Chains A and B, each alone.
Chain A
Amino acid sequence: MAGVATTRRPRSLLKSAWDSKVLLLMCLPAVAFFVVFAYAPMPGAWIAFTNFNYRDGIFGSPFVGLRNFEFLIKSGQLWLLTRNTILYNVAFIVLGNILQIALAIMLNEIRLRYFKKISQTVMFLPYFISVVLIGVIAFNLFNYDTGAINSLIVATGGDPVKIYSTAGLWPFIIVAVQMWQSTGYGSIVYFAAIMGIDKTLFEAAAIDGASAWQRIRYVILPSLKPTFIILLLFSMGGIMHGNFGLFWNLVGNNAQLFATTDIIETAVYRMVMTQNNFTTSTAVGLYQSIFGFALVMTANWIVRRMNKDYALF
């Protein structure tokens, strides 16, 4: 078809869109999801700066500046909560990724097909157990009067341990539970990345006489680096968001453990849950998101300085 120069550009854009129509169509659900659940409600964050009432709505209600953020400072807990939240997430991210990579490599090394499938399924299962149930299981393991662990200690002639009043134990318990629950699921991405490694690399390594360990060290691990960095950057954004369900169900209102277990979500839940107050809750969410946004941008900037190929954008 003939065309003049001035119209070629838009037509070629349309044409390239048409050419990749299947890809675009596949993209559509994700785009719709983000528009509806992430971008469309975004202006609503304005509610964090207002004294909201139903009559005037979100944008008509009186502007109150940062007053809705004050309670975080007034409670004297902002530092403790931010520290706990970040430390837990750092532990989750670092340990989580290490374990997931290790698990993926181990799965890859298993040669027996059925055993591989069974192991994968077994490791996957904890991911599907509700945190409410995990809370109940934990109580039945750890409680002082009837818990399985203390029953065992008593039966073997020891003195029972007050696990639910020993704050120092809980970072280990919580991290262990989180790992138990998420490692199998998280290893899938790495396992898929290993499957995607060019087979010729393995063949070359075999010809060079590489041992299994050398194959892992010099072929698999370097190939996983981009995946690792992308996942790391993604998780940075959520570093101020705790796994509320897990923490709430394991610790609940047990104030004896708060020093080491209270994260932003659980503290805010206790503060405002009876208060019919959307503005303070939104303020907290905004604080977490802005912090996460800044962290992703910074981390991405650093990564780009180091190696442009690994950056998200």
Chain B
Amino acid sequence: MSSIKRRTLLKGGALAAFGIGTGVTLAACNSNNGGGTGGGGGGELDTSEAVTVTMLVLGDKPTNGRLEAMLEQLNAKLTEKVNASLELFYIEWADWQTQYNVQLLSGDSNVDLIGTATDWLFAWENAQKGAFLPMDEAMLSSYAPQTWEQVDSEGHWELCKLDDGMIYFMPEDNFTQWTNHGFFYRGDWATEAGIPDGEITEFEQFTTYFQWVKDNQPEAYPWDVAGTNEAALTGFVQGRTEYQVIQQVTAGIYFPFHTTTSDPTAVTSYYMEGDDLLAAAELAREWNDIGVWREDAVNYDGDTREQFYAGLSGADQHHMQTFLGILHRMPTDQPGSDPKFFYWGKENNNYYRDIKTHGAMAVSANSRNPERALAVYDILRNDEECYHLFNYGIEGTDYVIDAEGRRSQPEGFDPATDSLGSNFWYGRMDELEIPSATDPDNKQEMFDALDANAKDYPYERLVVDKTMIESTLAAMGAVLSEYIPQLQYGKFSDPAAAIAEMRQKLTDAGYEDARASIQADIEALEA
């Protein structure tokens, strides 16, 4: 083909595309298709017509057929009770933050129930933006009476309201779990390192522990850590100061706004004020010089938990629920390792209970069957038989009950391939849980010990208006993503100068405006 002919074709194609393009309206992006006018009012549940209720959950869709087998049994019961059947719609973990919000943005009327959370799934923002159906007492007590009763008896509906007084989601407020973070380490190594009873009681003792691992366990990294972990900084600051993190505001992946226990209405930031961040950064630098982590830890993305199980890492970092799993597996993988958990804020009791809306369920503003969706949720949450089916699967194939009445895996069950994967984290109930055989016998004691000194998160109801500070938060995220990883891994030769530089850039990004705006939101909450 000659070049002239090629050009003519190009030209023609472009013109054709333009011509058609100008006539096209925005069909693909119509997100405003009614709904959102409010689901107030109750009444009798109309079950005359069979409907399918679709629940949006987070997680990878299982492909082993077990979920379908469970749903078949569950749906028989749901049909019998409220003439409805349940379907699950998965937002998979790959790029879930975007996928989740895009799914809500699309205003898909096929989704009825939306799993949400105020701390990690944008519940307040999506409620404000109109993705969830506003509900009131009449509606909830008619269609989800048991849920209404239980949440109401504890006064927790207040935690789910915007300032219009409407309820936007149903909290998982009756399920105890601890997601307070800290280090897992080995009691046997700590004892050999000369730490009394092998029990670390202060963050700085990890220097001794890590140094011992470096000197005596040539195969292992003292703390094999990967990627953008910030624990060396936050763990240190939390246990040494009375700073508390405001969980509703992120800048990039960081939480840059704080208050203090003694002045809980004054918004501040240890990224900006005081010497605590510097002290933490200097300790991190010392750790980096020891060789606590890989030189290129931030680019490394190996499975560090497996390294811990394999005895190739002296520490691992995550929360209490994960530690229960460590306690179960570690004695088999590393006999005599005596795994222990040092949680941030242990020194000064500066840590929180989990918030009541760490899991919650909303009804989609675009749902065609909000009443039936509520009824299905009420059953899943409160009917023992359905609860067990939905959470654990079919007894005998997905789980078995042992002599002590504990739930364990059937013979030949491989959690990697045989899991049920219903991922219901939006309305579990302590009373209906079957204790797991993998849980340690002293689980309750450990939980009680944590509970004895924990604080309640003071800002559960804080709704931050981000309209005016969105661009500042994004800009702050850019600055923090440049400095925090280098401070965490001790890569600055002069951390004091680096922190001063970071503070100047955060100021330029508009830190003070954002702080004042959040301050106003906190004052409004108090009022």
Contacts and interface: CB of A to CB of B under 8 A. Distances in A.
A277 B131 CA distance: 14
A275 interface: yes
* Chain A: interface size category: 35 or more
B130 A54 contact: yes
* Chain B: interface size category: 35 or more
B26 A43 contact: yes
Given A35-B24, A275-B474, A41 B482 contact: no
Contacts of B474: 71, 74-75, 271-272, 275, 277, 280
Q: Which of B16, B365, B505 has most chain A Cβ within 10 Å? A: B16
Interface stretch (A56-64, A97-105, A114-122): A56-64
B295 interface: yes
Given A39-B24, A53-B129, A145 B31 contact: no
Interface string A275-313: 111111000000000000000000000000000011011
Contacts of A196: 1
B105 A54 contact: yes
Interface string A39-53: 111111000000111
B125 A276 contact: yes
Interface string A216-238: 00000000001100100000000
B508 A143 contact: no
B26 A273 contact: no
Interface string A174-196: 00000000000000000000001
Nearest to B26: A43
Nearest to B127: A54
Contacts of B475: 70-71, 74-76, 271
A34 interface: yes
B519 interface: no
Given A27-B16, A71-B475, A76 B21 contact: no
A11 interface: no
Given A35-B17, A76-B509, A40 B129 contact: no
Contact of A54 (B24, B365, B510): B365
B413 interface: no
B30 to A, nearest CB: 7
Nearest to B505: A76
Given A31-B20, A41-B29, A77-B478, A275 B470 contact: yes
Given A31-B17, A275-B470, A53 B294 contact: no
Contact of B467 (A30, A51, A270): A51
B262 interface: no
B3 A226 contact: yes
Nearest to A138: B299
Nearest to A132: B301
Contacts of A279: 470
**Majority secondary structure, A binding face:** helix
Interface string B220-239: 00000001100000000000
Contact of B295 (A31, A144, A271): A144
Q: Which of B3, B104, B301, B483 has most chain A Cβ within 10 Å? A: B3
B508 A76 contact: yes
A78 B501 CA distance: 18
Q: Which of B7, B130, B470 has most chain A Cβ within 10 Å? A: B470
Contact of B471 (A34, A38, A71, A258): A71
A40 B122 contact: no
A139 B299 contact: yes
Interface string B256-285: 000000000000000000000000000000
Contact of B32 (A51, A60, A164, A272): A60
A12 interface: no
Interface string A77-121: 100000000000000000000000000000000000000000000
A304 B286 CA distance: 62
Nearest to B102: A278
Contacts of A36: 28
Contact of B14 (A68, A164, A226, A313): A313
Contacts of B13: 27, 30-31
A214 interface: no
B299 A164 contact: yes
Interface string B298-317: 11110000000000000000
A256 B491 contact: yes
B473 A275 contact: yes
Interface in A230-264: 230, 251-256, 258
Nearest to B98: A273
Interface of B: 1, 3-4, 6-7, 10-14, 16-18, 20-22, 24-32, 36, 97-98, 101-102, 104-105, 107, 122, 125-126, 128-131, 227-228, 250, 252-253, 294-296, 298-301, 365, 467, 470-475, 477-479, 481-486, 491, 505, 508-510
29 contacts: A31-B17, A31-B20, A34-B17, A35-B17, A39-B20, A40-B28, A51-B467, A52-B129, A54-B32, A54-B129, A55-B365, A69-B471, A75-B474, A75-B479, A144-B296, A145-B294, A162-B295, A227-B3, A254-B296, A255-B298, A255-B482, A255-B486, A271-B252, A271-B474, A275-B474, A276-B101, A276-B122, A278-B102, A309-B4
* 9 interchain residue pairs of minimum CB distance: A57-B32, A39-B21, A55-B130, A144-B295, A74-B475, A71-B471, A75-B475, A71-B474, A75-B478
Given A70-B475, A274-B97, 4 more contacts: A41-B26, A74-B471, A145-B294, A313-B14
